[in-house]
């Protein structure tokens, strides 16, 4: 259990994690603003409230989340390989 807590701690201390979370949040806010503008100003009724929530989650899960997972896992592995515990066990790292 200590290992999991340590990995979560290392993940949240990185600047790149905070930047990716901010980008994720900004994309979600931008999508909400576009929906709001279309509803109020243009009178376009694309979704009901439940459909908009499902649509925004589907968009985030389909595009943003895989990118974030791939980036974070490759970054963690590369950093661990360079100066972490993997370097002790990987002979090709030197």
What are the tens digits of pLDDT across the range 3-61?
778 777 777 777 877 888 888 888 888 888 887 887 778 777 777 767 877 877 887 78
Task: Write down the pLDDT at residue 87.
Answer: 58
Task: Write down the pLDDT at residue 86.
Answer: 62
**91 in Cβ contact with 84 (< 8 Å):** no
Compute CA distances 27 → 14, 30, 32, 37, 80, whole Å: 21, 5, 9, 15, 30
CA dist 59 and 44 (Å) reads 20
Evaluate the CA torsion angle 38, 42, 45, 46 in order and state its sign.
Answer: negative
Whole-prediction pTM value? 0.57
Helical residues (DSSP H) of 14-93, grouped into ranges:
15-40, 49-59, 65-83, 86-89
Residue 84 pLDDT exceeds 70? no
């Amino acid at each position: 259990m200590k290992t999991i807590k340590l990995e979560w701690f290392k993940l949240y201390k990185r600047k790149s994690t905070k930047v990716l979370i901010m980008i994720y949040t900004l994309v979600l806010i931008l999508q909400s603003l576009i929906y709001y503008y279309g509803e109020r100003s243009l009178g376009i009724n694309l979704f009901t409230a439940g459909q908009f929530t499902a649509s925004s989650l589907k968009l985030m899960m389909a595009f943003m989340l895989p990118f974030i997972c791939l980036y974070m896992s490759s970054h963690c592995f590369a950093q661990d390989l360079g100066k972490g515990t993997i370097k002790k066990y990987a002979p090709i790292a030197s």
